[in-house]
Structures are given as structure tokens and as C-alpha cells.
Structure 1
Amino acid sequence: MSQSIKPFKVDIPQSQLDDLKARLANTRWPDTETVDDWSQGAPLDAVKSLCEYWQNNYDWRRCEKELNHYPQFTTEIDGLEIHFLHIRSTHENAMPMIMTHGWPGSVLEFMNVIEPLTNPTAHGGSASDAFHLVIPSLPGYGFSGRPAESGWGLERIAKAWISLMARLEYTAFVAQGGDWGSGVTSAIGHIHPAECLAIHVNMALAQPSAEDMASLTERDQKALADIQYYFDSDSGYAMIQKSRPQSLGYGLADSPAGQAAWIYEKFHRWTDNNGRPEDALTVDQMLDDISIYWLTNSGASSARLYWESFDSIFATPMTIPCGISIFPKELFRPVRKWAEQIYQNLIHWNELEKGGHFAAFEQPEIFVNEVRACFAKIR
């Protein structure tokens, strides 16, 4: 197996961008929803407005330029081509950190935290806060390869990330993630290779024990209600992606409006907003992310991670030093004592006042402060 690391630049053919505009112009729309809110999914008028902007005003080349501002590479690990950003700090004692996105995210989630993490002295921190960053695209996502066989679940991805850090000659590193990135990061923590010093997650999955259930506080009850709401009313997308990703993929591969609506609804539901996803993220930020899914045709391949790993998303107990940041609009907000049953060496815990599921994307400054505070404890 080749262990070469090859430079990579994003360069989408103009023909693909022209095809996107033509497909958007020819969208066949469904009839409008029968409610005046988002309870049946993304409203027709909102999706039409988003797609009109995508067709007529959005500039992919701007996003491409912003991505290509940072060093990007590909390398083959375990038979699969992995795409990653690798940004080294100028500070001598910077700590290597691998950061993992989730669905429906991408490496773009981290764009506004790269500079503060790698160059902290220019962003309110000190040289001792510096990180070298490795930001890979998950298998089947973005510019990484698509697995041609089953078996690429959380543990296999975690092992690939450990191999990637070794290939980059990092003998000690930390790991961070949210959503599926939290699952991958927790899997690294469970494996606990000697070179991984600590982990940090911004979506912690933990449940109460039978003993906990006997004495629930109001905060405990709210945490349980959040879990129940997710599985009762907010997990339809996950049930489809974990059971029939291929069937779903035909629509996502053929219709940019369909791909946009599938992700846009999650930006509404999972961000800390005042009723509109645009309260938390700009239209360009959302379309940058949606465009990566469309232009790389990764609707089906990204969904397969649910087929592989959704039933094993709850982490198993681990003793690696761990930090957890709980954002108020996160899908799951376990209480500390539940989390400590899984993350048994908790070095950082904080419940924030602002932010949602896409922590680095929505609240980059808060996110950076959390990561700095967590890993300062093991430097």
C-alpha cells in the first residue's frame, strides 16, 4: 500500500457548475406544506429562496479559493483515499490535533477556527495555546474516497485517523469532534493509543443508569426529554439513512434542490437560531456546505455511515483524559454524572449559553476557547 502524501487542490470543472444551475432552473417543486412552520420539513418558500440564490448569486469559486488557501492533501489508508487539511502552526511547541466533522457537515465547519487555533497570538491567546491542525474528510464525504465495501464504521475510521497522524510523524496528539466526529473521536479514546493524549467532544452521548433513574432532577428530566424528542420527532432522516441509504441516494444524486432541502432543514433544526437557520449561519456558509455534498455526489456515500454505525453511536467506557462542551441547542445534553460513566477521566466540562449542534461553525470564538481550556490541562 502506498504511504505517499499528495498535495490536493479543489478544482471543480465549470461544466459541473453549469449543470448545477441548469438543474436548479428545471426543478420540479412539490406542493406547499399544510402548516405555517417547519414541522413538516423545510417550507417550500424557504427552499425556493435558497435555491434561487444558489442558482443566480452564489459563488462556488469563492468557497473553492477559501479552501485552497490552506494546504490540502490526500493519502491512501486501509485501501481508501483520505482527503485532509494540514495546517501547521508557526509556534514551536504547538500541539497536534485532529478534528473530525459529522453529517451534514464537512471540513468547512472548521474554517473560522483554523486561524485562532494555529495562530493564537493574533487571536486573543498565547503561544502556549497553539495547535497544528489535521482536518480530514470522513470516508464517503467531500473529497475523500467512497468505500466500495461495507465495514467503514467508527472504529475503522478511528484507526485510519491514528494511522494518518503517525504518517504525518506526530508522536503525540489530541483529537476533537462533534456529531459523527464525536463518535470517531470517542472511538479513538476507547482505543487509547499511547500517542493520543486526550480527546474533546462537543456532542457527548450518555444515558442514565438505573440508579440515576431513581432520583432524577429537573435537569436530568430535560436531558431525557431531549433524547426522547430526538427519537420520536427528529430522527426520521437517520432512520432512512441507516436503513435505506441507497434508495435515498438516487434523489440526492439527481436533484440539487432535494440535496439542499435535506441539509437546510437540519441547519434550521440543529442551530441556535431565532426561527430561521439564517440567524445562525449565513446563506453562503450553508450553501458552501451543501455544494460540497452536491459537487462530490456524496449524498448516498455519506448516508452509509448511518447504516454502518448508527446503532453503535453510544460510546463505551474509556479512561483517556476527556473534555466535553455542552452547547444549549445540541441534540443531546447529558448531565455530567451520566457522562462520567462513559468518559471516566473527565478533565473539562462546561455548559455554554450560546450555540448548537454545529459548534465550530456557529460559534467559532466560544468553540476555540473551549478547546484551548480543555487541552491546556494536559500540556
Structure 2
Amino acid sequence: MDALQRLGAHLETRLGSLEEAKRQGRKVIGYTAGGYLPEELVLACDAIPIGYVRAGDNNILRDAGSYICRWIDPFWRSQIGYLTSKKDPYYNIADLIVVPITDNHARAFSNTIVFYTPEVESFVFGVPHVKDELALGYYLDGLKRLKNKLERFTGIRIGKQGLKKAIELCNRERELFSQISMLRKANGNVVPSRDFIALHHGSFLADKEVMVDVLESYLKEAKKREPSADNVPRVLLTGSTLGDGDTKVLDLIEDCGGMVVMEEFAEGLRPYWTSVGLEDDPMAALAKAYLMERVCPGWFRPGTERLDFLVELVGDYRASGLIWYQLMYRESYKVESYFFPQILKQKTGLNMLVLESEYDTAAELGTMRTRIETYIETIRT
């Protein structure tokens, strides 16, 4: 059984394992996407983190329409739809839901669940949109409040040694994602995009130690593979969110003869480029790594760090094209999509394709296919 098969088998029994853990007194902590909830804090109090990243189904947006207006990002409306409809049991198994407020869409989710699902306790803390000492202090204060909440909620004190052990485990997961990702810089394709995304999405639900073992195995398998032909257009895929179930754009790129060699998204994939330092106070180290050292999302000010990082990735992964996949009503990415093509052209010589979605496959598929097919052909020539 290869690594992805083992991950699939683990996830098939995961709900039952979570229910058994709850019967034994352990707490399940659900949290929203964005990468600003340190799972280390949850693990250090013997609780189980579960990340909410499912999206891509337009039908669930109809369910959400009873609770929130249409003018919210479809990913966050999907989160409301899954939680209120009870159509995904992972969304209803949590004892506590933690929501880092990253922007207005996360706030809309938080406010909605407080009103419509009061039976599920929630905890929110703010995420600043700048990187400076004041912002770091604010974020660290939020993490300290979260730590206190988790300790009261679980009845387990989070000590320095336990927290450092959890940091080491999560660091290993990040290191493995990074090592797997860097294999994709080479000629050919030993790590298909579909595999890499599946590993990310699975990691939000899987037991952390099992996930690390799966990644270890996958890395060994990938290093032994013969690379595929490298005569297809290499595409960097970026945007705000790539939810679990949102495969339309990836499917179309592959159908049209392209190969995705790197994905950069703020939500749906976990940040993995930096590790948490172990030499400092662990709480301060978490705040520093999660806020100051990670590449910021599009809603940060100024937004130049992420755009510079995209230019760097184009070179590192030898991309011959960049597809910008944004969700409707996600205004921060919409704004950037107007001026980044000029930056990309000036610094790399590449043209950029901008796609926008509301998870409406029936309405979007034909147009998207035509535009992606045309773009891939321009890369070939």
C-alpha cells in the first residue's frame, strides 16, 4: 500500500476514531482556514485539531443562502453551509470551533455560527494585517488568550515541554511538505499536483503522527520515481483559496495539456516554508513564525511580500505560465489581479491568466476550458 492509499485508509476510519476519542474524554477542536491557528497549542493539551477546508460544491451555497447573503466569498459561505446543514460530519464533531479573524469573510462566518449554531462553542481572536512589533504583540496576546481557553476547556495545562514537543512534530510535517515540494523544481514530474494537494487536504483531518509517517513514505516513493516527460507547459497556480473538492481548474489545466508545478494559496493549503524556532519562549516563537515569518496573504498591507514571492516561485519552479484563480467577492485578491500581471510581465516576461469562480461548474466550465486551452497554447508557442 503506497502513502496516499494509507492516508485514504486512515481517513476512512477517522470519524470513528474521533468519536471514540471523545468518548474517552478528549476534545476535538475545529478551526477555520488561513494558517493562523497554531495546531501546536491544540496538540499540547491532548486535544485533536480538525481543519475546515471543504469547498467547491455550488449546492452547499444554496444551503448557506438561508443564513448569509451572496456577497461573501463562496469558500466562507461553504463553511457556513456545511456547518448549518450537517452534511459533513467533520463540521459537527467539534467540541469547540476556533476562528482566527483574518478578514471580513472570516468574521461573517464567525458571526453567523454564533447566532445560528449556539450549541457549538466558539472562540475568536484577531489577526493583524501588517508585520511590525505592535502587530506581533497583538497576535501573541491572541494566542495567549487561546492557550488559556484551551487549558480551561480541556482541563490540561499547556507546559513548555509539551508545547515544544508539539512544535517539533508540526515542524517535521512542514519540513516534509517543503522537501516534497522542492522535488517539483526538477525536470519532469515526480510529484503530481493532485497528489500534493491531496496530502495537504488530508493533513487537516488526519492524526498528526500518522500524517507525518505518510509524508515520510511519500517522500521516499517520490525520490524513486522516474520523472515524466518535461515537454509540457509548467504552470504556477495561485489565488486566495483552494478548498478540498474544488478541482475544476486543476482538471482543466491537465485536460488542456498543462502541468501544475506549484500552488500558492492562503487558504486550503497549509503554510510550510518556515519552521517554529525551539530556542526561544515557545509562545513567542509560535507568534513570530505564524505571523512574521510566513509569506502573508493578499489582505495584508502592503501586499508586495506575497507578490515578490510569486515572482520568486516562477523562477525556482521554472514556470512557463501563471494562472490566478480567485473566488468571487474576495476583494483583496480581485484588486491585486489588476496590477500584478504588469509586475509579472516586467520581472519574468510571462503573461498571466485570471480566472474567477463561484463554484458554479455548469455556468463556468465551458468558458474556463476555452480560456485555459487558449492560454496553454500561447505558452506552447
With the length of structure 1 as denominator, give the TM-score of the two structures.
0.29
Bigger share in helix = 2
